Each structure stands twice: as structure tokens, then as C-alpha cells.
Amino acid sequence: MTLVEINFDGIVGPSHNYAGLSLGNIASASHRGNSSYPRAAALQGLAKMRGNMARGLAQGFLLPLPRPNEGLLARLAVDETADRALLAAAWSASSMWTANAATVSPAPDTADGRCHLTPANLSTMLHRGQEWPDTKRQLDVAFVDAAHFAVHDAIPPSFGDEGAANHMRFCDGHDAPGVEVFVYGRPGGKFPARQHEQASRAVARLHGLDHQRAVFIEQNPAAIEAGAFHNDVVAVANERVLFTHEQAFADQAGACEAIRAKFPALEVVEVPAGAVSLEEAIRTYLFNAQLLTLPTGEMALVVPEECRESAAVWSWCEAMLASNGPIRQVIPVDVRQSMANGGGPACLRLRVVADPATVDPRFLLDEAKAERIEQVIAATWPEQIDPADLGNVALARDVRAARASLLETLGLSDI
């Protein structure tokens, strides 16, 4: 069995809009009320996937969830007197950010030698808390092989869990045993701390992790206050490398020491606040990047185009490349529609270490399938949605038809 890292990107759904529902997400809040462009958003995401395929990397995808969510509208008895945010929640396309779909522990880390996936309950926010049952249905199909995968229910919503966006894994290679790091926040600040320590610990137990190979670290409250609503906005890991802002963790030195105690080969690439402020790191999503190992063995950092447009960030990236460190390439990509709603390249993908032969092939991307997906998006995704359009009966019909067309094209109408 050949274990590789597969990035499962979320296909941006046809109801993509800027309702500004995510408290603590500065980008989402600042673009609230703007027109969105679902077709462009989905095509940008698909182009990013194709770019990684062209680099020789395994690529999968997850599908948009059914929207508008009529069940949610009915449970909340939403009518013309209700807060319009409740209507907007039922239209949200936020499942595109599959870093929040689940937490994943690869087979080499678990007691039973299977890859374990626990959908995130996302209970802090209504528009996201509705997602996990539908997400689990997809995971159950994509990873149906019980000899290789175990898909759990979400943690009870008393403890907020936001999935892989607050989870890192260190290893000598993706197919080798790893040390898993869970980053949680403490409540009481200006913005909600979405990842609860007890949720992280419950996921680790569910997955059968050796407690000697699991680390629990507190996120820096100042980072949450600045808009780092998930750890992956200020830190990302790949194999031996931790790429982090100097102010990512409550005890930065202690966090690195705790990881190194269980994974001595750790290499830390730390960006000092004096070079890139916390605010600029969050604005450009320098750390919400895909840190990837290429087939050549080199590491590449796939960053938003906004990083190249920032003098401070790009200057630091160029200096890093000149230093001959472990990250040898920095690759900007255009995901502006996602960025404006608060999600960069890392938000758009869920990493699963598995043998591709054990995954339902309908969820794995190749160029022919990418071409079919592009054709459906170009033909059926709305070009533009204004916030006032949410609730429009004709638009709802078009959004449902667009998703149905995509599922039919991919042979996934049973989802």
C-alpha cells in the first residue's frame, strides 16, 4: 500500500456570497454586503487544484453542500420577520473551506492502523454548525473502505471543534508515524475561541492516538483578537517543518519545545513580527498557505496572490528563499473570491494521507474530470450574487440545479 498526502479541495458552491456571518473573521466582515462572483470563485479554486496536479501531487475534491438549506429554515421558522442573518446562514457556501470539514489522523498514527476522520461540529457559528451531517455523508462515501478508514460522528456541540484548521502533523514522511499537534483557544476574548481544548482531546482519543505522540498547545489570544480565528491563519506544518508567525502561540518558545520533545527532527521557520506584523500576516494570509512536498523532495509554499502584493510579506519571502532553508519555492495563486470571504489556499483543502486506490475514485481529480467540472461551473454557476438576492425563489432554483448538474456529471447524484 502506497500512502501519499491527498489534498481534498472544496469546490466553491453556486450560492457563494458575502453575508459577513463569521464573527472574528476580519476579511469576511470587511466584505459584508459586497457582490460575490460564484462562477469566478469556483473556477479560481479549480485552477489551484489543477496547478497542484500539474506539480505531480495527488488531488481530490469535496462537493458543495445542498443550499439553501430548507431544513434549517424550517427548524428556525424563518419568515419575513426573522433576522436576515438566519436566511443568509441557510444559503452559506462555507463548506468550500474543507480545512474545517474534519480532523484526520493517518493510519501510521492510530492504534488500529486505519485512517480516522472526525467531522468538525463547527458549533460556534450557525452557518457552519449546519454542515457536519452532510459533510459526514460525503466522507462516508469517499472513505467507505472500512479496512482502511474509520469515519466518526462529530464531537458533541458543547465543545466547539473546527477540524484540521487547528491541527498539525509532523513526520519524517507522510507514510511514516507522526506527532499530531492540536491547537486550541481559551474563551473570554473579543472574538470567540472556536476550538475547545476538550474537543481536541476527544478527537485524539477517538482516533486512538498514542498520548506520547500528541501535543496540545494554546493559540495566542492576541492572534485570535487580531483575526486569526483558526490556527492555520498563523501557522502551517508539513513533514518536519513548522512555518509560523512569531506570535502564533500563547507560549511560542514553549510550544516549539513541546513539539520538539516528541519530534526531535522539527525545523522551525519563524517569521518575526518585526518583519511581518500579525495584522499584515492575517491580511495577506501568508500562513494560510499550502506547504507541500513536491515529487522532487523540495517543499513549496502555495500562497495567495495578496502575499506578492505586500511589500513586507514578499520581501520576507524572497529573503527566506535566499537563505537556503527547507522551503524552496513560493507560488502565488489567485483565490481572491475565497480570500474576500476569509479563506486562503489552506482553508480550501483537507489533507488526507491514504493510498489513492482505497478512496472512492469519484472524489479524485484528473484532468478529464477537471474539464467536466469546469464546463458545468461555466454553464450553471451564477455569475454574480448580491446579498439582497438571498431568498430569491428563482436564484434558489438555479443554485439547486447547478449543484445537481455537477453531481450528475460526477456520478455522485446519490450524495
Active-site residues, by number, are 162, 230, 347
Instruction: Specify the amino acid at residue 272.
Output: P
- The rounded distance, in Å, linking the Cα atoms of 291 and 320 is 14
Q: From start to end of 148-298, where are the E strands?
A: 149-151, 167-171, 178-184, 214-218, 235-238, 241-245, 267-271, 290-293
Could you give the dihedral angle defined by the CA atoms of residues 58, 287, 326 and 210, in that order, rounded to the nearest 10 degrees?
A: -70
Other Cβ atoms less than 10 A from the Cβ of 151: the count is 20
DSSP H helices, 162-229, are: 197-206, 221-226
Show the CA angle centred on residue 153, arms to residues 408 and 142, nearest 5°: 30
- The rounded distance, in Å, linking the Cα atoms of 227 and 342 is 10
| Cα separations in angstroms, 320 against 232, 243, 245, 247, 415 | 20, 11, 13, 18, 44
Q: From start to end of 194-307, where are the E strands?
A: 214-218, 235-238, 241-245, 267-271, 290-293, 299-304
Cβ neighbourhood burial of 34 (10 Å; 0-12, 13-18, 19+): middle
